[in-house]
A and B are shown apart, each in its own frame.
Chain A
Amino acid sequence: MIVQVDNPVVEVHDLTVSYDRKPVLWDIDLTLPAGALVGVIGPNGAGKSTLIKAMMDLLPTSSGYVRIFNEPIKQVHKRISYVPQRESVDWDFPASVFDVVLMGRYGNLGLFRGPRKADKDAAMEALEKVNMQSFANRQISQLSGGQQQRVFLARALAQNADVYFMDEPFAGVDIATETAIIELLRQMRAQGKTVIVVHHDLQSAADYFDWVVLLNMRLVASGPTEKVLTQELLEQTYGGKLTVLSKVGDLLRKQEFPARETKV
């Protein structure tokens, strides 16, 4: 069940990504339409984050290629923005909320140029969109999880890109922030932006996204939400022996049982 589109925003062709010669993504072949809210969904370890990082050329790939707006990524960096996982940075860094949001403008500045008034206005406007304008001068270590996520979102908004990649923006945020974020994503879609979101909650997926990519190391499905979120395809993604095995693996890791008997 892989639906291909004409004039795709993102085109992934035969993509394989390996860590340590062990493939974590096999032979992904998909196209994503413009102006869509795309959810990338799959179990833990399915390679969801790996897929969006590979799409942005942040990871070396074993084979295949990615085109964005029908161009290699190096040509279109300015039209791409990224919201990494919150935990990926050090929130004790000596920076204010405004400093971080302003980083969204850096891609548009030359080497010798610092941010100008227009850039600062754009950053402030982005902060207003996520309702954080009163936090502009706050030190980032004083933010709650939801506020950190809003700051990251504001940074991406300040960039005014055309394609947004977001890695688990709903993970560990309060319900008010989640509602505010999804409302913003819908506004972005209305402006013709394409937003690709790594998501782990099946419950809300049908409501949030209009295009869904189901992933479990291989591509299970990619298409309009109503065609893809079916019992059968979800079972293919989460079900079967693979899930049982990974659940056992998770359990072992959580309880720190030795994976095999060790002689003492």
Chain B
Amino acid sequence: MNAFWIILTGSLVATCCSLLGCYLILRRMAMVGDAISHAVLPGIVIAFLVTGSRDSMPMLIGAGLLGVITTFLIEFFHRYARVQADASIGVTFTWLFAIGIILISVFAGQVDLDQDCVLYGEIAYVPLDLWITEGNLNYGPRTVWTLGFVTLLIILFITIGYKELFLTTFDPAFAAAIGFSTSLWYYLLMTAVSLTTVASFESVGAILVVAFLVAPPATAYLLTDNFKVMLILSVMLGILASAAGYFLAVWMDGSIAGAIATVAGIEFTLVFLFSPTKGQLLRRRQVAPARQPEEALA
């Protein structure tokens, strides 16, 4: 049963992260996801200090706010202070993450959090933190419920805003010209990334979140030319990595999160080498250029 809960937790995180990651990598913003996953830390700590509990709702709100502030600061430094985009990402998230670390260490006595947990998480403890009602009903691990809720939100968000996200990702100038607010969808996407990060941080940690945000989407990108297929494939690859990673970790008696990220990396390497269309070894040369320009001019 424990294996089931752990793999389910990994799969839920993989689903949220992979879906959002597809948009991030196509916007060339994968590292913004990295930044957000670290920068939400002060939001989590402050939410904890204010409410004094580790309830999910205040933390989701605190982290969501911090995520939007991070995105805003990155944009601000880049656009108004004319700092390079990558430098502005680096400055913003290390600074915010450091503030979070200081808050944790200063209020160490009151905060039921530690730095290791935030970075690496501990997915093996997921089945221990159960949601048991007063009537002594056992609903299973608490984390699974939080993550399940966030996963539903993310799927809902991507379904409702599918065409807006697709358009503003592909061609923001055209989107703005025909009346879509590119910044609204940009900030909504970043809020979704923040929510995902905070929901996953205590189980899998910031590092595995980054791995899930980038590796499965990048792998799926090499496998297909259709965006919807890319979304589905990246979720499947993420779930596969969670399951395979768990068994790898059990076999090696090692870190589960580490093994999952490793499997995600192996998936990428295999696809990079053997993808039918874009792989380095098995590329079907000249996909269809045989009959190209003439028919268009007829």
- Chain A residues in the interface with B (C-beta under 8 A): 20, 53, 56-58, 74, 77-78, 80-82, 84, 88-90, 93-96, 99-100, 103-104, 106-107, 109, 111-112, 114-115, 131-132, 134-135, 138-139, 141-142, 144, 146-147, 150, 155, 159, 165, 174, 176-177, 180
B288 near A142: Cβ-Cβ < 8 Å: yes
With beta carbons under 8 angstroms apart, the residue of A56, A106, A174 that contacts B163 is A106
The 10 tightest CB contacts between A and B, nearest first, are: A77-B179, A82-B177, A107-B178, A139-B225, A176-B297, A94-B227, A56-B177, A89-B171, A84-B173, A94-B225
A78 near B170: Cβ-Cβ < 8 Å: no
Provide the bound-state CA to CA distance between A103 and B293, in Å.
24
Give me 27 A-to-B residue pairs in the complex whose CB atoms sit less than 8 angstroms apart, sorted by A's number: A57-B176, A58-B173, A74-B179, A78-B178, A80-B177, A81-B177, A84-B173, A88-B171, A90-B26, A94-B26, A94-B224, A96-B225, A99-B166, A103-B163, A106-B167, A106-B180, A107-B178, A109-B163, A111-B161, A114-B163, A115-B163, A132-B296, A134-B295, A139-B225, A147-B293, A147-B296, A180-B297
Provide the bound-state CA to CA distance between A78 and B178, in Å.
6
Provide the bound-state CA to CA distance between A106 and B170, in Å.
13
Provide the bound-state CA to CA distance between A159 and B175, in Å.
12
Q: Is B138 an interface residue (CB 8 A)?
A: no
Q: Is B160 an interface residue (CB 8 A)?
A: yes
Residues of B190-237 at the interface with A, using a CB-CB cut-off of 8 Å, are 221, 224-227, 229-230
Closest to A75 in B: B179
Distance to closest chain A CB from B120 (angstroms): 33
B296 near A131: Cβ-Cβ < 8 Å: yes
Q: Is B287 an interface residue (CB 8 A)?
A: yes
Q: Which residues of B are found within 8 Å of A88, using beta-carbon distances?
A: 171, 173
B292 near A144: Cβ-Cβ < 8 Å: yes
Distance to closest chain B CB from A162 (angstroms): 13
Q: Is B289 an interface residue (CB 8 A)?
A: yes
- Chain B residues in the interface with A (C-beta under 8 A): 26, 82, 160-164, 166-167, 170-171, 173-180, 221, 224-227, 229-230, 287-289, 292-293, 295-298
Q: Which residues of B are found within 8 Å of A20, using beta-carbon distances?
A: 82
Distance to closest chain B CB from A19 (angstroms): 11
B174 near A112: Cβ-Cβ < 8 Å: no
Q: Which residues of A are found within 8 Å of B162, using beta-carbon distances?
A: 114
Provide the bound-state CA to CA distance between A96 and B295, in Å.
18
A142/B289 contact (C-beta < 8 A), A94-B221, A132-B296 known = yes
Provide the bound-state CA to CA distance between A89 and B28, in Å.
12
B171 near A94: Cβ-Cβ < 8 Å: no
Provide the bound-state CA to CA distance between A177 and B293, in Å.
11
A159/B163 contact (C-beta < 8 A), A103-B171, A131-B298 known = no
A135 near B296: Cβ-Cβ < 8 Å: yes
Distance to closest chain B CB from A166 (angstroms): 11
